[in-house]
Chains A and B, each alone.
Chain A
Amino acid sequence: MVLGKRIGKQSIKLDSKPKIISAYSVVGPKEGEGPLSEYFDLILKDDLNGQKSYEKAESSILYKAITECIKKAKIQETDINYLLAGDLLNQISSSNFAARDLDIPFIGLYGACSTMTESLSLGAMIMEGGFANYLLAATSSHFSSAERQFRYPLEYGSQRHPTAHWTVTGAGAMILGKTGNYPYISYVTTGKVKDYGITDVNNMGASMAPAAIDTIKQHFQDTGRGPGDYDLIATGDLGKYGKDITSKLLKEYGYDIEKKYIDCGDEIYGSSQETNAGGSGCGCSAVVDCGYIYKNMLSGKLKRVLILSTGALLSTTSSLQGETIPGIAHAVAIEYGG
């Protein structure tokens, strides 16, 4: 018997209220020097994590986040029915190789930087359907592995644009369970791909903003909620400038989220860290969600949060072929004691 129901056009109400029973975040040294450092579970001293390549490092960081998250939940690896994970690397190799060393049935996902809420929403639906007792959603990103795949070799002398983002080195993992007194997922809204014609690969924030705007608008329309129903609305990595665009254009739809609105990419680095528009990457929203947001919910500071990871769905060849950059954003509403 399937609980819960579809509401509106793109949302699901989760009657079984899947609980986030544990969350773990690992970050690199630069993130560990940022304003949210106290909320991360582990700050690495070396972003190679003792590995021989950046890709291997990213996979090891993801593996660490997953295994520590399982320890924190006081369950066994074999108790978990599904691992949902993805990352930015070609063929999601970071997740594949992390999953190779785990004894958990694995579903790999690609949503670019939207993977955290993508995996959480799918996970919530799997739980709601009664198909799992425990489910783990995780994702990672790494500055150096993303640079060498999407942009330039590390030692190349290029000048970063004012709207450029800095890929976060980090991994986040969350475990969903059926029982216990924990923050739970109440609604998920699955986003559509939105492309408003941005071609500039140095302006990721603007390319993802349309998707964020559309998903937030749809979430409010489907659920009948408004900005006032949430203590915090957090997008993944629109950065300083994408956040501004999102805020302004949502007002056109009649929603003023400005007072409740943060963007993980905008928050994760301090202004002295010279990251221009802010952080990006799957790890960005993951570590902020698993660290800052989850811990503030546990402590009661935040009671109802809407998180949206945002992804830019370009490939290393699409821009060269003149394609514009499509974006996607998935929303997950988390509540605790509210």
Chain B
Amino acid sequence: MDYLMAFIVGGLICVIGQILMDKTSFTPARIVVCFVTLGVILGALNIYGTIVKVGKAGATVPLPGFGYSLAKATIKEVDSKGIIGAFTGGIKGTAGGIGAAILFGYIMALIFNPKTKE
């Protein structure tokens, strides 16, 4: 059941992205920025939390989910540490992802070379 909901919710979020890609002149980079920011806003307003309950990984794996993690972590940190939490919370909460991106990005660059497109 988890898998079905994750598939549907995740798929739908991607479809919204696809429509933006095909119908507007938005580049993928712009769309992804909008999604992450939207995730932050909806996360703060407690709306995305509901989507996560329903879609589970279908809501956390797409990029709005990254924004949601940022928002959740920031709020938690502000609750416990005050205003300084606004600055530290987001990065603290997503540190795992950012660290992984830097490490794996570097390792892959060490090992692999780009391949010609056919």
Interface string of B82-118 (1 = CB under 8 A from A): 0000000000000000000000000000000011111
CA distance A200 to B24 in the complex (A): 11
A158 within 8 A of B: yes
CB pair B21–A159 under 8 Å, yes or no, is yes
- B contact face: mostly helix, strand, loop, or mixed: loop
CA distance A199 to B25 in the complex (A): 10
Q: How far is the CB of B93 from chain A (nearest CB, A)?
A: 26
CB pair B118–A30 under 8 Å, yes or no, is yes
Task: Report the contact-size class of chain B (Cβ under 8 Å from the partner).
Answer: under 10
B11 within 8 A of A: no
Q: How far is the CB of B16 from chain A (nearest CB, A)?
A: 15
Closest to A144 in B: B116
CA distance A185 to B21 in the complex (A): 46
CB pair B117–A200 under 8 Å, yes or no, is no
Q: How far is the CB of A22 from chain B (nearest CB, A)?
A: 30
Closest to B28 in A: A158
CA distance A155 to B21 in the complex (A): 19
Q: How far is the CB of B102 from chain A (nearest CB, A)?
A: 17
Give 18 A-B contacts (CB < 8 Å), ordered by A residue. A47-B116, A48-B116, A143-B116, A143-B117, A144-B114, A144-B116, A144-B117, A147-B117, A153-B114, A154-B114, A154-B115, A154-B116, A154-B117, A155-B114, A155-B115, A159-B21, A199-B25, A200-B25
Interface of A toward B, CB cutoff 8 Å: 30, 47-48, 143-144, 147, 153-155, 158-159, 199-200
